[in-house]
Amino acid sequence: MAHPIIKIDHLSVRYDGQEVLKDLSLNIQKGKIIAVIGPNGSGKTTFIRAILGLIPYQGMIQIDGQPVKASLTKIGYVPQAFSFDRSIPMTVGEFLTLSFKKVSPRKLKRALLEVDMRQYENHPIGSLSGGQFQRVLIARSILNDPLILVLDEATSEIDMAGSKSFYDIVAHLNKVHETTVILVSHEIQMIYKFADHIICLNRELICYGKPKEAITKEVLERLYGQDIRFQEHRH
């Protein structure tokens, strides 16, 4: 078997003396779409931030055989929301080129085309809807042809139609570029449709496998508590 694109060994994260993630070990193979689920406060965002090297952690994380800090440019990241002030006058084109030393106009146009935003290159970012802006963030994250695309609840502020289109774009990138995708999401139906594997977290690893096999009644109870009702739809 090929070496994993992400190798995580005994990952633990503590905040103010409290263990937020405990002894997580798993390997993620290249070209897969991995969904991360869990209740609020289960450590999903902490898990993502550790992979991105944004927080200190114990244990080991390797990206394509290298430490995280040496691999940042191999990762594209789309957060739930960026903290910056979108009222700053800046066009989509300016915003996209800012993150990289050199971006050819052709590459910029291609990235925008892939997320169906080609005509918005000269639009101010402040004039975009939530869904359009998330697509621009995907375009930004794919400009340097990343090996891994990390999406942290990236559809939480967009409507259902926008969310569907967002996942279609992600699936397209995964298929065409073989980009490994890690996405945090609460949209179980989308996960069933798009994810190859699922990681269930509740401060520790509860399950890891194919969605239909990994999500069981017991797993959902361990994730969301005893009150959860497991309803299986058969169509």
Partner 1 sequence: MFHYPFMQRALIAGILLAGLFAYLGVFVVMRRMAFFSDGIAHASLAGVAAGVLLSVNPLITALAASVLFAVVMFFLERKTHLSSDAAVGLIFTVGMALGVLLISLKRGYQPELIGFLFGNILMIKSWDLWLIGIVSVFISGSLFLFRREITLMSLDPEMAYLSGIRTGFFQLALYIILAISVILGIKILGIVLVSALLVIPVSISKLISSSFQKLVIRSVVFAEVIMIAGILLSYLFDLPTGAIIVLTGAVLFFTVFVLRRS
Binding site for partner 1 (CB under 8 A): 52, 54, 72-73, 75, 77, 79, 82-85, 87-91, 94, 98-101, 122, 124
Cα 33 from chain centre: 9
Judged by beta carbon, residue 75 or residue 154, the one nearer partner 1 is: 75
21/96 with CB nearer partner 1: 96
**Alpha helix (H) ranges present in 89-235?**
92-98, 105-114, 130-142, 160-177, 188-194, 211-214, 217-224
DSSP, res 114? H
User: CB 139: neighbour CB atoms within 10 A?
Assistant: 27
Minimum CB distance to partner 1 smaller for 58 or for 73: 73
Q: How far is the CB of 198 from partner 1 (least distance, A)?
A: 25
Instruction: Classify the C-alpha dihedral 36-171-76-80 as positive or negative.
Output: negative
CB of 119 to partner 1, least distance (A): 16
- Shortest spacing between CB 109 and partner 1, in angstroms: 17
Q: In this complex, which beta carbon is closest to partner 1, that of residue 29 or of residue 144?
A: 144
Nearest-approach distance from CB 182 to partner 1, in angstroms:
14
Measuring CA to CA, which residue among 58, 71, 63, 51 is closest to residue 7?
63
Smallest distance from partner 1 to CB 84, Å: 4
Nearer to partner 1, 117 or 205 (CB): 117
- Minimum CB separation from partner 1 for residue 16, in Å? 10
Q: Which two tokens stand for residue 78?
A: 């789309």
Q: Using the Cα atoms of residue 137, residue 131, residue 45 and residue 65 in order, give the sign of their dihedral.
A: negative
**Locate tokens 């139609």: which residue?**
161
Between 83 and 231, name the residue whose CB sits nearer to partner 1: 83
Nearest CA among 55, 46, 59, 52 for reference residue 10 = 59
